Structure 1
Amino acid sequence: MTTTSMSKKVKTVMVTGASSGFGLATARRFAEKGHRVIVAARRKERLESLKQELDDEFGADTVFVMPLDVTSETQIEEMLGSLPEEFAEVDVLVNNAGLALGLEPAHEANLDDWHRMVDTNIKGLYLMTRKILPGMVERRHGHIINIGSIAGNYAYPGGNAYGATKAFVKQFTRNLRADLLGTQIRVTNIEPGLAETEFSLVRFNGDQGKADDVYKGTDPLTAGDIAEAVIWAAEQPQHVNINSIELMPTSQAWAALAIDKIQG
């Protein structure tokens, strides 16, 4: 029987954006697998609730809460410096923190929304990676798992800056693979399609009706589906690197190319 990389010993896993959606589901699944989990997000009260839940179910000290804004380099350094010894060596980093804001065409989009998406989806991801990666390379062991999107592969109206940030995630992941050849560090990009979480509620600034309309009549992916993809990639034997996983619900496919037909 093949022993998977995640089953050899208890690992320390850091998940950003762990207060809801993909991040919360992923943190829960790693805890269920018996690993230590660092949950990082801005909403401390949600993280504390998750810690209580998981500690009660899987044992005390399963979870370490890290209130964190991934766009702040200073805050990242301070929080990483405060990790207790048993959580200090991160084996798996899941870069999940990210968001979409607005669905307007580029000429009508809110520039503040663009700035925030770039700061969180790009800057936050590369800062976390740069701060964690040296320790992994020194130990010659580790796995960076980035949460991208099919929006980084296929354009759609209103996806402008969001899709561009996820295209960055895709290419950054590929370039990490090139840089880290020979280090034994693995790198994976998870690229979900339509998934029902708080994603659309955030995108539409809390408008529940608009968010619900996105999923009406569909059978979308769930946060748990994405967590299973993350776990599967992490549990492959050390000599196997899953470069990317693109997944959509069965109810979703690629759209036809748009054509603007001249009238008259």
Structure 2
Amino acid sequence: MSKNILITGASSGLGEGMAREFAAKGYNLALCARRVERLEALRDELLQKHPGIKVVLKALDVLDYDKVFEVFREFRHELGSLDRIIVNAGMGKGQPLGTGYFWANRQTAETNFVAALAQCEAAMEIFRDQNNGHLVMISSMSAMRGMPKNLTTYAATKAGVAALAEGLRSEMLGKPIKISTLYPGYIRSEINEKVKNTPFMVDTETGCRLLVKAIEKETPSACVPAWPWVAVGFLMRNLPLGLVKKLG
């Protein structure tokens, strides 16, 4: 039986790339994002390549919290069930604290954490009712340690997402609801397209293929790609803060 997979933030970047990977595996997709025209183009592409799958779309700004619940419930109704929900929508805007950009840091905090909380609530409501499901949280390698300057708020939100997922995982141990946290390293996407000369950067297609591989294993947590990010994560967690600062 085909799996039904919901992906938020599916109009670009990692969400779009993962949708392509899952479609190639024959899975039905529920895709949502703000930019419906991008979703429609993606749907047409996927159905042309994989005519045996279903692709349903809905406009969603994850900051409209009531709408998050509404859209998730509608997707479940249309597909009959949701087997996996990937909380992917996010943003990378941020500035050093105390420099007059609270509005930007607040937007990042609300989008990456509060909206992720709403998505988790909506997902778990469905999974608890079904008594099965797989919730996937997209965190970041920056969650491993507090990061300086433009990354401070972003890293804090991604650490919050990881802690949220771990709390849920603890609660769901031994139950048919699985929780996975992924920590992407440098994967090229719209969120970092202006960043140049970054070491260990992989292209979007490669990164998304590896993300989907980790998701399919239903692993509790994974750094993606594994090399060099498992080693980098260990160093980030254990090196003196002065050295970690240089990574920011």
Give the equivalent residue in structure 2 for 1:96.
88
Letter in 2 for 1:183: K
Distance 1:51 1:122, change over 3 A: same
- Structure 1 partner of 2:242: 258
Give the match for residue 76 of structure 1.
Answer: 68
2:26–2:52 Cα contact (<8 Å) kept? no
Matched, 1:223 2:176: no
Q: Of the candidates 158, 164, 168, which is equivalent to residue 172 of structure 1?
A: 164
Residue of structure 2 in register with 1:147 after alignment: 138
Worse overlay, 69-78 or 222-231:
222-231
Residue type at the aligned position of 1:126: L
User: What amino acid maps onto 1:246 in structure 2?
Assistant: C
One-letter amino acid of the counterpart of residue 179, structure 1: E
Task: Write out the 4+ residue segments of structure 1 that deviate beyond 6 Å after TM superposition.
Answer: none
Q: Percent identity?
A: 26
1:120-150 Cα deviation digits (max 9, x unpaired): 1111111112112122123222100110001
Paired residue secondary structure (1:246): strand
Whether contact under 8 Å (1:145, 1:230) holds in the other structure is no
Aligned Cα RMSD in Å? 2.4
- The residue aligned with 1:15 is 7
Instruction: Say which one has the larger Rg.
Output: 1
Aligned to 2:222: 245
The answer to which structure has the higher helix fraction is: 2
- Paired residues in the alignment total 235
Match of 1:132 among 118, 123, 127: 123
Partner of residue 53, structure 1: 45
Q: Which residue of 2 aligns with 1:37?
A: 29
TM-score relative to the length of structure 2: 0.85
User: 1:183 is matched with which residue?
Assistant: 175
Give the secondary-structure state (helix, strand or coil) at the position aligned to 1:188.
strand
Which residue is equivalent to 2:246?
none
Alpha-carbon deviation of 1:29?
Answer: 0.8
**Gapped runs of 5+ residues in structure 1?**
1-8, 202-210, 260-264
Q: Name the structure 1 match of 2:108.
A: 117
Change (3 A) 1:27 1:217: closer
> Do 1:137 and 1:183's aligned partners in 2 also have CA atoms closer than 8 Å?
no
Note the residue ranges of structure 2 that are not aligned, 5 or more in a row.
Answer: 244-248
SS of 1:169's equivalent in the other structure is: helix
Cα deviation digits, residues 168-190 of structure 1 (max 9, x gap) = 01101100111222431111111
Inter-partner Cα distance in structure 1 for 2:52 and 2:76: 14
Q: Secondary structure at the match of 2:242?
A: coil
In 2, the alpha carbon distance for the partners of 1:119 and 1:176 equals 20
Give SS of 1:107's match.
coil
User: Aligned partners of 1:215 and 1:154: how far apart in 2?
Assistant: 23
Quick one: structure 1 residues 217 and 194, their matched pair in 2 at CA, closer, same or farther if it must change by over 3 Å? Answer: closer
Cα deviation, residue 227, structure 1: 2.4
**Higher RCO structure, 1 or 2 (CA under 8 Å, sep 6+):** 1
Alpha-carbon distance, 1:250 to partner: 4.5
8 A contact 2:185–2:224 mirrored in 1: yes
Structure 1 partner of 2:16: 24
Q: Judging changes above 3 Å, is the alpha-carbon distance between structure 1 residues 165 and 109 closer, same or farther for their aligned structure 2 residues?
A: farther
